[in-house]
Chain A
Amino acid sequence: EAGVAQSPRYKIIEKRQSVAFWCNPISGHATLYWYQQILGQGPKLLIQFQNNGVVDDSQLPKDRFSAERLKGVDSTLKIQPAKLEDSAVYLCASSLGNTGGEFGKYFGAGTRLSVL
C-alpha cells in the first residue's frame, strides 16, 4: 500500500514570495490534514478536510494560508505572502476514519520550508 505522498521535499524562498505544497493521501482515506511542525515542537493542525469539504480550519492563518482538496483526493496548501516565521515542516496526513480520534493518522515525509 502506497503511503502519503508529498512534494516538494524542500523549498527555499524569500519572504513575501508565495509557495505551494502538494499532497496525495492514502487511497480510500476520506480525511486529510495539513500540519505545521516548527523545529523542536510537535505538529500543529492547520486544516482538516473530510472528502473535499473543510471541517476545521480554525488554526489556519487565513490572511496568508489557503488550502483546497479538489475531487476529495489530492490537496494543495499555499502560503502567500510568506513570512520568516512560516519556516517549518509542513506535514500532510490522512486517516481512514471519518471522524474521531480512534484511528491513527498516516503522515507523509513533509515539505521543509525555509523562508529567508
Chain B
Amino acid sequence: SQKIEQNSEALNIQEGKTATLTCNYTNYSPAYLQWYRQDPGRGPVFLLLIRENEKEKRKERLKVTFDTTLKQSLFHITASQPADSATYLCALDMGSTLGRLYFGRGTQLTVWP
C-alpha cells in the first residue's frame, strides 16, 4: 500500500522567510498530488494540485514541485506570515476513476513575528 511521509511534525520559521514542507511517498507515483491547509477545529482547505507530468505549479506565494524520480513533492510558502501558521497536508491520488485520496499526517507550520 502507499505510504506517505511528511518531513516533520512541526516546522517553525521567522516571518518573511520561505517555508519548505516535504512530502515523500513510497511505491507508485500518483497521478495527482494535492496540498491542503487545515486550521484547528476546521476541515482541510484545498490549496494546489499538481499532475505527474508537471514539474512545478505556482499560486500567489505558494509553489509546489513534483519529482517522480525522488518520489517527493516540495511545498513552498514565500514571504511567510503569521497567518500562514496551520497544518499542511499532502494527499495523493493514484489516478483511478474513484479519485481516492491518501493523506499524510501533516506538518504543523508556525510562523513567528
Contact = CB atoms under 8 A, between A and B. Distances in A.
Contacts of A14: none
Interface stretch (B13-21, B66-74, B78-86, B94-102): B94-102
Interface residues of A, number: 28
By DSSP majority rule, is chain A's interface helix, strand, loop, or mixed? loop
A107 B43 contact: yes
B101 to A, nearest CB: 6
Nearest to A55: B98
Contacts of A40: 105
By DSSP majority rule, is chain B's interface helix, strand, loop, or mixed? loop
B101 A105 contact: yes
A37 to B, nearest CB: 8
Residue among B42, B99, B103 having the largest count of chain A Cβ atoms under 10 Å: B99
Interface string B20-40: 000000000011101000000
A97 B99 contact: yes
A108 B43 contact: yes
A100 B99 contact: yes
Contact of A102 (B42, B49, B91, B94): B49
Contacts of B91: 42
A102 B48 CA distance: 10
Contacts of B97: 99-100
B104 A101 contact: no
Contact of A101 (B89, B95, B103): B95
Given A99-B99, A100-B93, A101-B93, 13 more contacts: A48-B98, A48-B99, A55-B98, A56-B98, A97-B99, A99-B97, A100-B31, A101-B32, A101-B34, A101-B94, A101-B101, A105-B46, A107-B43
Interface of A: 4, 31, 40-45, 48, 55-56, 91, 93, 95, 97, 99-110, 112
